[in-house]
Structure 1
Amino acid sequence: MKFAFLADPLDHFKTYKDTTYAMMAEAARRSHEIYAFEQRDMAFESGKVLANVARITITGDLKDWYRAEAARPVQLHEFDAVMVRKDPPFNMEYIYATYLLELAERQGARILNRPEAIRSHNEKMAITEFAQFISPTLVTSDASRVRAFHHEHRDIILKPLDGMGGIGIFRVKEDGLNLGSIVETLTANGAHTIMVQRFIPEIAQGDKRVLLIGGAVAPFCLARIPQGGEVRGNLAVGGLGVAQPISARDREIGETLAPILLKRGLLLVGLDVIGDYLTEINVTSPTCFQEIAQQTGFNVAAMFVDALEKQCT
């Protein structure tokens, strides 16, 4: 099969931990053809969505890891599947890319995750559809509502709806110290909507990444444990990743969401779970394949390519 990856520049990959690299390497191991292009390589021209796409060969050397042929303009329906692996930020350029990809779908391309589904599932807001699994949560731009929520729950987390990697997350304890300033900053004095949640103490045991692949739940998750007094477990801010078997609650959440999200065209989803609570639904470029594989021996990339092949047959 021929698989194309819409990704960030290949030279920027940290191959020892990069999930997209793991996907490519596993697909290549099975003798599939691998292609790559960037967001800027796409265009609508003469009634068609085209992309300058290069075939790549995986070398097996983690440093000098690929060889690329000259890129050529092709329609995306020439591939058995196109994987959207562009990292956030989820900005307007990302939105424009989903429009082009959605048009490519209408011209016969198979895009995974589906662009409309990516666009429709804000990674913070998407949890509100599954309220039975979330902690007390408020979405608002109104400072008075935030103050009332804090008065009720005493210890809260505030975060922007468009953040990534733990950026912009604040904890306010019972004393309410700096609550007003934080709300003013995050909402830009009421112009921006934010999410506020009751603090979950189990964050000390980690913010768990639970992977949904092809409508099934991976048997291991990665608990990202805050370090050095941090409240955030994100690996991007120094969290320690510890792979572990998923809990019964993790499985309950995952098995409830997996078939629903797969039906919407989300082949790969990364749930964030703290304690017993769902906190995010990541659909843009979920990660943690290699950390789980390295610590447990479970080949997450193989599970993914199995699901991908099934989608294409």
Structure 2
Amino acid sequence: MAGCNQTFINEFTLQGFPGSREVQILYFVVFLVIYILTILTNSMIIIIVCINKNLHNPMYFFLSNFAFLEIWYPTVTIPKMLSSFLTGNKAISYRSCIVQLYSFCFLASMEYILLTVMAFDRYIAICYPLQYGTIMNSRLCKKLAIGSWTGGFLNGWALSIPAFMFSFCESNELSHFFCDMLPLMKLASPDTVGYVVIFICNGWILVILPLLLITVSYCYIIVTILRLPSATGRMKAFSTCVSHLTVVLLFFGTVIFIYLRLNPMQSYKADKAVSVIFLTITPLLNPLIYSLRNKDMLRALSRSWSKISS
């Protein structure tokens, strides 16, 4: 960052996605459909878990929390993006930008923690099946859920506080479709480099620590599965983890590509595409992954549909 004249900026301009008016309308339709499907599918999971007593267990309790999170995750960014596609107004006020940044950091942090909690649940279910009901009782599940939301709230502040300290140069053009920390860093003046280092260090800790815990959990899970005497038992045990493991790979893979590369300040053409996957496609795929690969969920969905039809 070269020296520059610092100034107070009242609003930013989100560059978003380039294209003619017709292309912008096409973007609007595509992302609107994705957003509606995301809300509907995740809401469906929450409703099915609530109304089916067979699903009142720790695994589906955490899954319903995860689905609720996935409703709010795209809601932070997509409505503003849809508005810019439709109206052409890409401006966002400074306060709205900071609120969007904090909300994004809070929900992302919450997802790291909740995925770790879900890995712990699978670890107990497979490695200690006889004690599972005793260990993962309703009180512990509630404490873990509350702890996940509280941890996300606090981590959101830890990640977004540096943005409050930034002073900006004269440019207010954000090369992104939402207020993310890295584009804000690129607009900040050189004297904020210390806050950049703080954010990157926090990001490494908040991503690597949950990923390490999940990896350790799955190492124990895999060892336990391989010791099972029957192939059918091994397949059944592993099938309960496939959905969660798929979501973990999707989520952490995109996060690491964007934020934890060797030089996070360097931009790549693929950044926006990966961010789209991270913020819009993944929240839509997650309920489909959990539903289509889960026989209990499919049976509950079938029973619920039969009741509605009759």
Q: TM-score if structure 1 supplies the norm length?
A: 0.25
Larger RCO of the pair (alpha carbons < 8 Å, separation 6+)? 2
Larger radius of gyration: 2
Q: TM-score if structure 2 supplies the norm length?
A: 0.25
Between Structure 1 and Structure 2, the one with more strand by share is 1
